[in-house]
Each structure stands twice: as C-alpha cells, then as structure tokens.
Structure 1
C-alpha cells in the first residue's frame, strides 16, 4: 500500500490534485512548490516531467515544458530533488510523463528511482495497455507503484471497466478528448456532464478524479459532484509568478477552496 491508497482510505471526497511542470518557472522551483502545496493542504501532487513533444498537453503546459528544459531540468535532477525532501513530504506524489522517457531512462531503473524518491504513482498516457500488462505490471507491483490510466468521453463502457480493474490508485477521467488547457468559456458542456453521469452510474470500486478543464472553484466543485475530486494543471501553471512564488500559489489555492 502506498500513499495514494492511504489518501483515499482516509478521504473520499473533495480531493484536490495540483499539477505543475518540474523545473518551472525556475530550475529550483520544484521543491518549493511541493512544500508550499503541502502546507496548503493540497491532497495530491502531480508533477509533469518536461518533454520536447508533450502530445496530451495544451499550449500552457507545452510552454512550461520548453522553459523547464531550457532551465536544464532532466529526470536525474528531478529524482534527486524529490528524494532530497522525501522525508518531509506527506502528500502523495505522482509523475506524469511519456513512454519514450520511461523507456529511454530504463524501465526498471526508472521505477526503482521512483520508489527511492518517495513517488507513489505514474501517469504515462501513451503507454499501450497491453504493453503495460505483459511487460511492466509486475515491475510496478514489485516497487509498490500505482499506474493510473485515463478515460475520455470516447471510451466505451467495456474499456472503462477494464481500465478500472488495472488502474491502481485512482482512475483519471479526462473530461475532453482534446489536449489539456483548451480555451473554452464553458469547459464542462452537455457532452462532459453526460459523460460524468454515465461514469457515476457504472459501478467499479476505484476512486475517480476528473481532469482537463478544471480552472476555478466552480469547475472544481462540479468535478467533486461527479467524482472524488479534481485535477488542476494549466490554470495553476498560468498563475505562477516566479518573483512571488509562494504568494501566487497561496492566492490561487485560496480561490479554489
């Protein structure tokens, strides 16, 4: 059992997960942001591994990736930064990246470093499910790491049930099939609400968090009506002020809850 399981065992609603890109806005921001979010009682932290071609991410996160890479962030440095503060961190940490990063680093070595650094789980949106099941599931179990899969409004019910069985920790409900941070005055329209209602009617014993399009208190509260909570990324990243980092984070989190 890792920290994600402990979180949902003790709290099953109004879960606030915040996503940010490692090494943004500055190379040494990662540790600071983790500590600030924890002190503000954020429930879960998702850290994006900067990548040159982040296919699932919109322009805001893409830009943060570019800045992070130009700052000099890489996986070796990220693992070292998190490991250095792991004894002080009580909130579960998830890494979000891409299969190529996982593969190039060396799969077993990657998962071993996750375990050593106190990371609880991974999101690899482009990792094929069958490849995970046949090649990696046992290694994830070996290191007690959660693998979190995404579903979208286009995912049929049979596949949703299947992903709910192999996801470990929670199921990520992407409200849209497009990229994150898509500009939309009403990100949760009829299609999204219908999708959320469909998921809520399906019975499977795993927590669910909604992401993509959550940008303020209204959309966060709505995600909590249909799932165990919500994940905020692009909007949070956009709010960061590198010259007033703590102040900007406190202001943003206060605006959510």
Structure 2
C-alpha cells in the first residue's frame, strides 16, 4: 500500500503535514530536514520543488524558492536527495510544485524518478482536474503516485465534488482565498467554510492548509478535518539556520505538537 494511503488508514486525526522548500536554507538541507521532521513527530512531509514563478505561494515561500535555485537545486539534485532520505525514513513524502516543471522535465521521466525516489504523492496546483484525467492520471497511477487537488472558499459544491472524485490522495482544503503565508488566525467565515465542506460528506481525507502557522491554528484545524499543513511558518523558522537546520526543525515541530499533547 502507498505510504500516504497507509497513513490515513492508521491515523484519522491530528495529522501534521509540514511543507519545506527543497534546497533551503542550504543545498544540502533537504535530507536533514526530512530526517528531523520524521524523528520529531511529523506524520507527512510536503517537499516543495523550487520554481521561479509559483502561482500559489506567498512571499516567504517565493523567497525560499529563489534561494534554493540560487543554491543549485534542480530536480535531478532533488531526486538524488530524496533517494538518500529514503534510506533513513519511511515517512510519506509528497512533492508540491507545478505541472510546468513536470512537462519541462518530461512527464514519464518525472514519474519514474518519483517512483525510484520513494515519492508517495503529488500536489500540482496548476494542473486542472480534467487535464489530469486526460493526460496524466494513468501515468501517475502506474508509478503508484497519489495526486491531491486543492479546493478554496470560492469553489462551488458541485466543483468540490468533481475535484474530490479526481483526488486519489488527500483533499487539500485551502483555508482562505489567498496565497500561502497569510493570516494566522482562523475566522468565523473560515469555520463556516469548513462546516460547508464537512456537510458534503466527501470520502477523501482532508488537510487544511494556508494560514496554519502555530499550535493554536493547528489544533483548530484538526477539530474539523484529519489534520493540517504548515509551510510558511516553518520556512521562516529555518531562515539563517544553515548550521543548525536539524535542531531548528526539531524545535519547530515540538512547539507545534507539545501543546497538543497537554
């Protein structure tokens, strides 16, 4: 069974998915970050593929992507790093990036590299569900890759059902109509949106992302769905930590999870 599917089979609540940009803050940070996230108690790791024109990312992740590219991170380097990381941990790994990157690399070559590196899933915000079904689904499934799609407060109920039907991984519930790194407080409007999604009774596992930044927002998100995704706040915690990236990673996860355990 795919590691991502196995995770949702064995754990229904309080799933912590941490996003980071591969190659940031240093080119060789990728493997130690993955190792320390797994050791510290993260359930799932979302590895960002640095891109020069990220449509869904806010300033924090944009800057980390530019830094990673300047550090020399390429997809070939990333896949080599992921293969090394897989010798240390079996935690589910999901690549988050853009379909343009996949096309430039070559779709068949990309999914083969994912399979060889032990990648479990993909998040590609610029890949429409209909295009996925037409051009990419068979290829992804052949490599054992789960694909997760995003929904937002602006997505209609009918469209949400269509997207959910296309998602073989979890459903990425974007908390607000914004880019990453926005408000860190969950509002009444967002709560109403989460209630609307819950009322649809979709079978997919669901993780809330965008604006989840600390223990409080993580706990609130977990009240509604299976868990939450933290990205920009972790990227900020890694800034300037090239020499102690492992310790910074452990400290960040501990600050998120320990209040949840008390």
- TM bucket normalised to smaller: over 0.9
Equivalent positions of 1:225-244 (< 5 A) are 225-240=223-238, 241-244=241-244
Matched, 1:209 2:237: no
* Aligned counterpart, 2:188: 190
Which piece of structure 1 moves more, 156-165 or 7-16?
A: 156-165
TM-score by length of 2: 0.95
Shift of 1:163: 1.2
TM-score by length of 1: 0.97
- RMSD, aligned CA: 1.0
Q: Distance in 1 between matches of 2:184 and 2:103?
A: 38
Matched, 1:251 2:255: no
Shift of 1:244: 2.1
* Aligned counterpart, 2:13: 13
Shift of 1:85: 2.9
Q: How many residues align?
A: 255
The answer to whether the 8 A contact 2:129-2:166 is kept is no
Shift of 1:14: 0.2
* Aligned counterpart, 2:219: 221
Q: Which ranges of structure 2 fall in alignment gaps of 5 or more residues?
A: 258-262
CA deviations over 1:8-28 (Å, ceiling 9, x no partner): 111010000000000000000
Question: Structure 1 pair 3/185, CA: closer, same or farther in 2 (3 Å)?
Answer: closer
Q: Distance in 2 between matches of 1:244 and 1:104?
A: 34
The answer to whether the 8 A contact 2:41-2:253 is kept is no
CA deviations over 1:166-193 (Å, ceiling 9, x no partner): 10121000001211002x363x212211
CA deviations over 1:90-125 (Å, ceiling 9, x no partner): 110000011110100000110110011000000000
CA deviations over 1:190-238 (Å, ceiling 9, x no partner): 2211111111111121100000000001100001001100000000110
Q: Distance in 2 between matches of 1:91 and 1:200?
A: 27
2:23 match: secondary structure: coil
